[in-house]
Structure 1
Amino acid sequence: MYQLTGVTKRYSRGKDTVHALTGVDLTIEDGDRLVIQGPTGGGKSTLLQMLGGLDRPSSGSVELDGVDLARLSEAKLTRVRSQNIGFVFQSFNLIPTLTAQENVETALVPLGVKASVRRERAAEALESVGLGERRGHLPGEMSGGQQQRVAIARALVKQPKVLLADEPTGNLDESMRDDIVDLLEGLWKEHGLTFVMVTHDSAIARRAPRLATIKKGRVTITDRSAA
């Protein structure tokens, strides 16, 4: 479970101070599916980075299972990310010279998983996203939707507790967008993940049981699951 208390994030931009987040209090239960929406530059990605331990708040606490990520050393924070949190980004972030199989395996290297097990788990992860027959293909030999599926497999192969997605359909057309969202929702249910996604797409936001809307650094929650 995530518990955010009084989370504030300030950036200096020249002589100005930008308040990306202002006193955010937020609880995300285990197994929740939460979509974060708001205007460009309004703090959506900043909030997701806090949840993933990729950034630290200027003040406040970001607790995951009772551990304040903001107070961990970089080494311990890296370990938490490697073991417990899967990331999916808009730009896929695949290594162009590695095959789909090899890209997925890279997530297991920091965990010390031996090579034979890495190969087996990566193959299973690619199968789960419908790319079992494309294991030997390079990213440049796949469509944008297929590359995002590889990125999703890479995020899930380490069997994380949390999946964080930052505009995962931003580079895809409408039909691919729907396929990827369907896939992510199916994997969320299948694996019992805590799933948090940032999107500017209102069609995606309407599908979420919980919606966090950020405006001027403040978060408002709409809970449709209780309806």
Structure 2
Amino acid sequence: MYQLRGVTKQYRRGKDTVEALAGVDLTIGDGDRLVIQGPTGGGKSTLLQMLGGLDRPTAGSVELDGTDLAKLPEARLTKVRAESIGFVFQSFNLIPTLTAQENVETALVPLGLRAADRRERAAEALRSVGLGERLGHLPSEMSGGQQQRVAIARALVKNPKVLLADEPTGNLDESMRDEVMDVLEDRWKEHGLTFVMVTHDTALAKKAPRLVTIRKGRITVTENATP
């Protein structure tokens, strides 16, 4: 479970101080599915980075299962990210010179698995997102929706506790958006993940059991935001 208390994040921009998050309090339970929405520059991606341990707050605490990510030494924080948190980004972030299977395997390298085990788990992860016949294909040989499914397989292959997605359908057309969201929601249901997604897509936001709206660093939580 996540417990955020008084999370503030300030950046320096020239002589000015910009407050991306302003005293955010938020609880996210195990297995929750939550969408974060708001205007550009309102703090959405900053909040997601706090949940993923990719950035540290200026003040406040970000606890995951009772451990404050903000206070962990960098080596331990890296270990938490490697073992417990999967990330999916808008731009896919695939390595262009690696095959689909090799891209997925990169998530397992920090776990110290044998090469044969990495290959087996990566292949199974790709099969689980419908890409069993694309193991040896490069990103340039796949559609945008297929590339995003590779990114999802890479995020899930390590069996994380948390899946964080930042505009995962932002570069996709409507049909590919629906395809990718079906995969994400199926994996959430199947694995009991805590799933947090940032999106500008109002249609997707309306389907979320919980919606966090963030403006000027302050949040409003809507429960059971269903169509």
Both proteins in one fold, TM over 0.5: yes
What is the match of residue 99 of structure 1?
A: 99
Mapping for residues 1-40 of structure 1, pairs under 5 Å? 1-40=1-40
Amino acid at match of 2:123: A
Q: Which runs of 4+ in 1 moved over 4 A?
A: none
* Residues 1:115 and 2:115 aligned together: yes
Q: Which deviates further from its counterpart, 173-182 or 22-31?
A: 173-182
Instruction: Give the conservation status (yes or no) of the 8 Å contact 2:100–2:135.
Output: yes
Q: How many residues align?
A: 227
* Alpha-carbon separation, structure 2, partners of 1:58 and 1:6: 10
* Alpha-carbon separation, structure 1, partners of 2:159 and 2:178: 24
CA deviation after TM superposition for structure 1 residue 225, in Å: 7.0
* Residues 1:208 and 2:211 aligned together: no
SS of equivalent to 2:195: strand
CA deviation after TM superposition for structure 1 residue 135, in Å: 0.3
Mapping for residues 1-227 of structure 1, pairs under 5 Å? 1-224=1-224
- 1:155-210 Cα deviation digits (max 9, x unpaired): 00000000000000000001101111111011100000000000011011011000
Amino acid at match of 1:73: P
5+ residue gaps, structure 1, are: none
5+ residue gaps, structure 2, are: none
Instruction: Give the conservation status (yes or no) of the 8 Å contact 2:207–2:225.
Output: no
CA RMSD of aligned residues (A): 1.2
CA deviation after TM superposition for structure 1 residue 15, in Å: 1.3
CA deviation after TM superposition for structure 1 residue 5, in Å: 0.2
> Structure 1 126/87 Cα, relative in aligned 2: closer, same or farther at 3 Å?
same
